[in-house]
Amino acid sequence: MTDTPAAIQVVDVVRTYTRPRTSLLRPAPVVRALRGVNLEVKEGERFGIVGESGCGKSTLLRIIAALDHATSGHVVVEGTDITRLPERRLRFLRENLQLVFQDPMSSLDPRMRVRDIIAEPLVVQGHPASGARVRELLEAVGLSADAGDRYPHQFSGGQRQRISIARALAPRPRILIADEPVSALDVSVRAQVLNLISDLVDELNLTLVFVSHDLSVVKHVCDRVAVMNAGQIVETGFTGDVYAAPQHPYTQRLVSAIPTLHRALAGATTTDLLAAKGEPG
Ligand SMILES: Nc1ncnc2c1ncn2[C@@H]1O[C@H](COP(=O)(O)OP(=O)(O)OP(=O)(O)O)[C@@H](O)[C@H]1O
């Protein structure tokens, strides 16, 4: 894969947030969410980012998608440095990179019919959104054509996540970013949604960046994985290698927590697994 072009390069990205002052006597608290993150995702790769809650995963994704900006460092997407680009020059990114979020209920407008939700990214970008394209997308995610006439609340959690996936695929993106896409779902439907994402990534030749706090989920979907801890990537490697022979002490703790396998299969989170070992979550 060394000759494959990079879809995403993250170079020395730092992100600090200043929280509101709680006292006139003390300076405003500064949160160092990302402390110099470097990573490269190749075109067509399935790249996982795993780590505990609060380690900076969502911040990193928001910066890659230009929904937030880095305090310092650079993000290059398909060869273009997006770090300081104004919104009007981000059109290529809005079309080629799409996101699926954790909670489909809060990311779908409850007042819109499903067909309009799916067509929305096309309309926003000034493309025609034909009924045929919407039906094709519904079919691709395993929903019937008449689903388009209904509203999000008329679907189960798993079906709503399918709608989110259809919407993300509407502009024919080359990069799909999934932020904890199954964490909010019932355990019984997680595997179906993961398999759907996996199949679509293959069929459509997508680059996938998949973020989860759930080790077993990342292992199921990704070729390579980066392990994040406290705003830094502590280890990157092929998923199988990282799990078989973790190098960094933090990864070793995560992996050694996995043998509580029935918990992992039941969807235990990194925090749960560490807690099961008596470690701080
Ligand atoms: N807008 C913000 N203002 C202040 N602090 C923030 C902001 N966004 C994130 N943070 C802080 O940055 C750190 C990283 O948060 P982030 O949401 O990226 O972590 P995460 O790994 O995605 O966690 P989770 O899985 O719980 O969402 C946390 O300490 C969080 O409180």
ipTM of the complex model? 0.95
Round the average pLDDT of the chain to a whole number and report it.
Answer: 88
62 vs 259, residue with greater confidence: 62
Tokens for 262, please give them: 């029935």
55 lines ligand 1 (CB under 6 A): yes
Could you tell me the pLDDT band of residue 262, with boundaries at 50, 70 and 90?
very low
What is the reported pLDDT for 271? 52
Could you tell me the pLDDT band of residue 22, with boundaries at 50, 70 and 90?
confident
What is the reported pLDDT for 263? 43
Cα 201 from Cα 209, distance rounded (Å): 11
Residue with CA at minimum distance from ligand 1 atom 17: 58
What is the reported pLDDT for 217? 85
Residue with CA at minimum distance from ligand 1 atom 7: 17
Task: Please work out, in degrees rounded to the nearest 5, the angle formed at the alpha carbon of residue 167 by the alpha carbons of 164 and 172.
Answer: 135
Q: Residue 9 pLDDT > 80, yes or no?
A: yes
Q: Residue 31 pLDDT > 60, yes or no?
A: yes
Query: What is the Å distance from ligand 1's center to 56 Cα?
Result: 6
Q: What is the mean pLDDT of residues 62-89?
A: 93
Query: What is the Å distance from ligand 1's center to 224 Cα?
Result: 23
Q: Could you tell me which of 270, 267, 239, 243 has the C-alpha nearest to residue 255?
A: 243
Could you tell me the pLDDT band of residue 275, with boundaries at 50, 70 and 90?
low
212 lines ligand 1 (CB under 6 A): no
Query: Rounded to two decimals, what is the model's pTM?
Result: 0.88
Query: What is the Å distance from ligand 1's center to 54 Cα?
Result: 5
Q: Could you tell me which of 117, 171, 109, 163 has the C-alpha nearest to residue 141?
A: 163
53 lines ligand 1 (CB under 6 A): yes
Domains of the chain listed by start with CATH number: 6-276 (3.40.50.300)
65, 110, 118 from 59: Cα distances, Å: 10, 26, 26
Could you tell me the pLDDT band of residue 233, with boundaries at 50, 70 and 90?
very high
What is the reported pLDDT for 273? 46
Query: What is the Å distance from ligand 1's center to 60 Cα?
Result: 10
Could you tell me the pLDDT band of residue 260, with boundaries at 50, 70 and 90?
low
Cα 157 from Cα 146, distance rounded (Å): 18
